[in-house]
């Protein structure tokens, strides 16, 4: 539970900026576009720092490293709360981004210590579910606090909860450690494995497919489906619940074999996602059906997560045992690259073609993900 709580705090800190964006803009006297850049900059910084941080920290005792990085995460949120201007807030967000992915990767390495082998995929799914719970509960709560008491109190809350969590982690997490004995650069041989390359590309395409439209979920609900403004928050909660189900059911899908097999078998899901994204272009014709379509897309959004994590961890354990920490970081890295790509493409499409075209363009990424999953099938070990 404590590791799920940790991923919840990481998710709340990462996503809450979207909910309190106008409040930050008013408070720091900058434009909303300027504050919006914090989201894309966070993702772009998060992606390269995750594998680098994981490779570096793999050489040090796990527990001490974990607690140190949590302390840095806490310091970053405290700095957000007291930031006197936008440049300081930007530095604070980059500090949080620098350690967040590595913290997720370290959490994954506890799987063998806190659960049995048969429950491994459920453990992975539940750790990832902390981010979905943050979307359902944490972000709306943070937005309400910002509206009621000011945006700085949202980060005060995150800091307080993180401090309490840090104490609990010190009490309950195992102290045993598995430092790697290979050199820093040697760990990156993992990236020359064709299975890892295809796994990373697949997740990038899969995440981009969702974030082309998800970045503009609120405008889609408001302008395409016609959800009244007063019910937009409820709509976001319903979508968040669908995403939570997606993460948890993804754990069951990851039980379908070892190594590359679970992710290769996600191919039909990408195809269904592509169809749903294409249909999203016609959501304004039948608003009720469009609303159900968004729920379906939320349920498809994270089904790949646990399967891709299984691929990275199993391939590393089998062929690159010294790169296990680095392998644990790859899902966070590749998913954030997908977020950055999808959001950027979505912005261009929205500006040039309009909201209705976000779905069909996202479908292109979904089909690319399906094609990449097909390329993984020859690597399935025959029994």
Task: State the Cα–Cα distance between residues 297 and 242, nearest whole angstrom.
Answer: 8
Q: Please report which confidence band the pLDDT of residue 383 belongs to, taking 50, 70 and 90 as the band edges.
A: very low
Which of 111, 131, 18 minimizes the C-alpha distance to 62?
A: 111
Same domain? For 365 and 250 the reply is yes
Total domains, the chain? 2
- Range with the lowest mean pLDDT among 81-85, 179-183, 321-325? 179-183
Same domain? For 143 and 199 the reply is no
Whether residue 179 is predicted with pLDDT greater than 80 in this model: the reply is no
Whether 146 contacts 26, CB under 8 Å: no
Residue 17 or 274, more confident: 274
pLDDT at 226: 87
- Range with the lowest mean pLDDT among 93-97, 157-161, 175-179, 375-379? 175-179
Tokens of 197: 């390359």
Residue 232 or 224, more confident: 224
Last residue of a domain, one of 158, 179, 200: 179
Which of 253, 217, 269 minimizes the C-alpha distance to 122?
A: 253
* Burial grade of 208 (CB within 10 A; 0-12, 13-18, 19 or more): buried
Find all residues with CB under 8 Å of 332, minimum gap 6, and list them. Answer: 46, 50, 100, 101, 104, 105
Same domain? For 26 and 154 the reply is yes
Reported as a single tens digit per residue, the pLDDT across 297-322 is 999 998 998 899 889 988 888 888 77
Same domain? For 260 and 279 the reply is yes
Same domain? For 47 and 169 the reply is yes
Whole-number average pLDDT of the chain = 86
What residue has token string 């590749």?
334
Tokens of 223: 């302008």
Tell me the range of 174-188, 277-291, 323-337 where mean pLDDT is highest: 277-291
Last residue of a domain, one of 155, 179, 203: 179
The rounded percent of the chain whose pLDDT value lies above 90 is 37
Same domain? For 25 and 50 the reply is yes
Same domain? For 106 and 209 the reply is no
Same domain? For 53 and 196 the reply is no
Tokens of 283: 């959501």
The rounded percent of the chain whose pLDDT value lies above 70 is 95
Q: What is the CA radius of gyration of the chain?
A: 20
Full domain range(s) for residue 75: 1-179
pTM beyond 0.85: the answer is no
Same domain? For 169 and 209 the reply is no
CATH number of the domain encompassing residue 254: 1.20.1250.20
Whether 91 contacts 79, CB under 8 Å: yes
Which of 42, 80, 67 minimizes the C-alpha distance to 158?
A: 80
Same domain? For 94 and 228 the reply is no
Find all residues with CB under 8 Å of 73, minimum gap 6, and list them. Answer: 9, 10, 13, 96, 99, 100, 103, 162
- Range with the lowest mean pLDDT among 8-22, 32-46, 96-110? 32-46
Tell me the range of 116-130, 132-146, 264-278 where mean pLDDT is highest: 264-278
Same domain? For 69 and 43 the reply is yes
Last residue of a domain, one of 146, 161, 179: 179
Same domain? For 1 and 55 the reply is yes
Task: State the Cα–Cα distance between residues 1 and 126, nearest whole angstrom.
Answer: 9
């Amino acid at each position: 539970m404590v590791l799920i709580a940790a991923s919840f705090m990481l998710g709340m800190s990462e996503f809450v900026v979207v909910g309190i964006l106008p409040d930050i803009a008013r408070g720091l006297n900058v434009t909303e576009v300027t504050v919006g850049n914090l989201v894309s900059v966070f993702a772009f910084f998060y992606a390269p720092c995750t594998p680098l941080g994981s490779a570096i920290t793999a050489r040090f005792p796990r527990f001490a490293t974990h607690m140190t990085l949590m302390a840095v995460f806490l310091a970053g949120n405290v700095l957000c709360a007291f930031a006197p201007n936008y440049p300081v807030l930007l530095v604070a967000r980059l500090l949080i981004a620098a350690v967040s992915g590595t913290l997720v990767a370290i959490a994954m390495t506890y799987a063998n210590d806190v659960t049995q082998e048969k429950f491994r995929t459920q453990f992975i799914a539940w750790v990832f579910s902390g981010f979905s719970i943050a979307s359902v509960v944490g972000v709306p709560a943070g937005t309400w606090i910002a509206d009621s008491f000011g945006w700085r109190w949202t980060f005060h809350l995150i800091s307080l909860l993180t401090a309490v969590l840090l104490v609990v982690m010190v009490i309950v997490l195992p102290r045993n450690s598995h430092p790697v004995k290979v050199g820093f650069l040697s760990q990156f041989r993992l990236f020359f494995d064709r299975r890892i390359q295809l796994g990373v590309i697949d997740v990038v395409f899969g995440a981009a497919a969702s974030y082309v439209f998800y970045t503009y979920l609120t405008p889609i609900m408001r302008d395409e489906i016609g959800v009244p403004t007063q019910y937009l928050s409820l709509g976001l909660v319903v979508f968040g619940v669908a995403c939570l189900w997606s993460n948890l059911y993804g754990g069951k899908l990851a039980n379908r074999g070892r190594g590359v097999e679970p992710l290769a078998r996600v191919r039909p899901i990408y195809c269904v996602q592509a169809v749903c994204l294409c249909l999203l272009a016609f959501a304004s014709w039948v608003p009720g059906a469009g609303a159900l379509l968004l729920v379906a897309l939320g349920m498809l959004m994270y089904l790949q997560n646990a399967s891709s994590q299984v691929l990275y961890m199993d391939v590393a354990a089998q062929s690159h045992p010294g790169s296990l920490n680095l392998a644990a970081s790859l899902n966070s890295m590749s998913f954030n690259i997908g977020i950055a790509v999808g959001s950027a493409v979505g912005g261009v499409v929205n500006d040039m073609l309009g909201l209705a075209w976000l779905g069909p363009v996202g479908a292109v990424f979904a089909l690319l993900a399906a094609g990449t999953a097909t390329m993984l099938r020859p690597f399935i070990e025959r029994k």
